[in-house]
A and B are shown apart, each in its own frame.
Chain A
Amino acid sequence: AQKVTQAQTEISVVEKEDVTLDCVYETRDTTYYLFWYKQPPSGELVFLIRRNSFDEQNEISGRYSWNFQKSTSSFNFTITASQVVDSAVYFCALTSNSNSGYALNFGKGTSLLVTP
């Protein structure tokens, strides 16, 4: 069975600090896909990134970066120089062809609060 663990329930930082959101996953599949989504107070889940299990290259997009490490089954997300608009709940998710239709398994989310 698949499992996604986001151990940090809530994080509070001051604007301009860097913050890392942790995600640890479990799966027996050799091919799988990892995702991060952002859910602002409005409620809509916003897709941020997809990472394939066979591609361990880390990725940077502006102030966002992702560190995928298969050896530790982790897919961590770092926001550099955080801003108030980054305040949201962030979800890590996992899927593979073991999930019918590649349905997503989500973690419980990390609530990030960035204060001025």
Chain B
Amino acid sequence: DTGVSQNPRHKITKRGQNVTFRCDPISEHNRLYWYRQTLGQGPEFLTYFQNEAQLEKSRLLSDRFSAERPKGSFSTLEIQRTEQGDSAMYLCASSPVGGRSSYEQYFGPGTRLTVT
């Protein structure tokens, strides 16, 4: 299966702890996106990478959030000092640049974070 994968699928943590999520995109896709989805809402954009460069961060991404994509391959999203409001599904997507499938984003299964 060469789709987008995310780990872990579920994470329960206590308030104040740090958590890190991983996303492995489709191998030939240059762009990688992180979104957050809360109950009853559509996904909201957090940040995106083109290769290893992080080119945009949403205002939703507070200073407690940091994302990396070393060598333009997998990406990690870290949340420091988690708060209950961080509880959500974190979705990763990847997209090719150019070609017939340009602009089409393919999503992973998500990581569901619960902060207690």
**Interface residues in chain A, defined as those with a beta carbon under 8 Å from any beta carbon in chain B:** 4, 33, 35, 37, 42-47, 50, 91, 93, 95, 99-109
Q: Please measure, in the bound complex, the distance between the C-alpha atom of A104 and the C-alpha atom of B92, giving whole angstroms.
A: 12
Select the stretch in B14-22, B61-69, B74-82, B98-106 that faces chain A. B98-106
Cβ-defined contact, A47 with B104, below 8 A = yes
**A57 vs chain B, min Cβ distance (A):** 16
**A24 vs chain B, min Cβ distance (A):** 14
* Across-interface contacts of B33 in A (CB, < 8 A): 101, 103-104
**B80 vs chain A, min Cβ distance (A):** 24
Q: A43-B89, A101-B50, A109-B40 are in contact. List 19 more A-B contacts (CB 8 A).
A: A4-B42, A37-B107, A42-B109, A44-B109, A45-B93, A47-B105, A47-B107, A50-B103, A91-B43, A101-B33, A102-B31, A102-B95, A104-B33, A104-B45, A104-B105, A106-B42, A107-B42, A108-B41, A109-B41
The interface on chain B, measured as residues whose beta carbon lies within 8 A of the other chain's beta carbons, has a size of 26
Taking CB as reference atom, which chain B residue is nearest A107? B42
Q: Please measure, in the bound complex, the distance between the C-alpha atom of A93 and the C-alpha atom of B44, giving whole angstroms.
A: 11
Taking CB as reference atom, which chain A residue is nearest B41? A108
* Across-interface contacts of B45 in A (CB, < 8 A): 99, 103-105
22 pairs, A vs B, C-beta closer than 8 Å = A37-B107, A42-B109, A43-B89, A43-B109, A43-B112, A44-B108, A45-B91, A46-B107, A47-B104, A50-B103, A50-B104, A99-B45, A100-B56, A103-B33, A103-B48, A104-B33, A104-B43, A104-B45, A106-B42, A108-B40, A108-B41, A108-B42
